Amino acid sequence: MYFVFIDEAGTPGYKKGKTPDGYFTLAGMIVKGENILKLERELQRHKLDYGLPPQEEFKWGSKYSSVGWSYDEYANFREGVFQIIENLAETIIGVVLDKGESYKKNYINDHCDLYQQALYLMMERINMWYEDTGVIAAPTIFVIDSRKNNKEADLDEKLAKSFRGALRTGTYYHQGFPWFSHSPFFSTSEESTGLQLADYCAGPIQQYFSTGKDEWYQKMRGKIRKSPGGKVSGYGIKTFPGRPTIQL
């Protein structure tokens, strides 16, 4: 059994009256079921080593000054998180949507449509990774960072319906996904170690696309899915629409 933990960076929507711009990133971290408890224990131990409560989330974008760290301590903490991912995750897959170009598509009209498109591309790449590695008949459970809020309490259910629809009808490149769970599970990142680590996968990708700064992206690049020749673009990171404008 495999678990896919999916977190986002950036926002899929845009303010009314404004032109959509920037990027929206989904990152999926694939973990074998037998490694889930190890994942939890390693991250909890790592937090304790840095004086953090083991059950408390420290996000990719959290300010290190908020916990009294120096930048070096902050960088070392991040390095340790990446080492946990390196040791216990199978691979990382990213999907990056150019919001300005995506919203020009006639089938992307709001943030739900944009997120759905990113999720479909993620599902395809995960299925392709199975084909790469020869994984057969491996039940796969998706755990997605909850999107619902006080204004839109049905966001998770809308996404679940889209997910189930893709299972029934397939997507452009895949006829179906027979080993994916019937419906994804939604959780807050505070309650899921896997989602907390997926946050550290999405953050560096979004940072690289948005700012061109690739220090942290390069540190996790080795874990991203690649072609047999080592190519990341289109394999481990799918950009939409079109090809990336940066070197992956």
Note whether residue 195 is domain-resident: yes
Q: For the ranges 53-57, 115-119, 151-155, which has the lowest average pLDDT?
A: 151-155
Domain that holds residue 52: 2-240
Q: CATH code at 16?
A: 3.30.420.10
Q: Strand 237-240 and strand 185-187: pairing?
A: unpaired
- pLDDT at residue 213, rounded to an integer: 95
> Which sign, positive or negative, has the C-alpha torsion 219, 222, 225, 228?
positive
246 occurs within a structural domain: no
Residue 124 to residues 19, 53, 115, 154, 246, Cα–Cα distance (Å) = 29, 37, 14, 25, 22
pTM for this prediction? 0.93
Would you say residue 245 lies in a domain? no
| 73 falls within a domain | yes
Query: How many structural domains is the chain composed of?
Result: 1
Distance CA 105, CA 171 (A): 17
Whether residue 128 lies inside any domain: the answer is yes
The predicted pLDDT at position 137 comes to 66
Whether the CB-CB separation of 78 and 84 falls below 8 Å is answered with no
CA atoms within 13 A on the CB side of 122: 32
Strand 2-9 with 23-32, pairing:
antiparallel
Residue 151 lies in a domain: yes
CB atoms within 10 A of CB 168: 8
Closest CA to 98 of 201, 236, 203, 246: 246
pLDDT band per the 50, 70, 90 thresholds, residue 179: confident
Look at residue 247 and tell me if it is in a domain. no
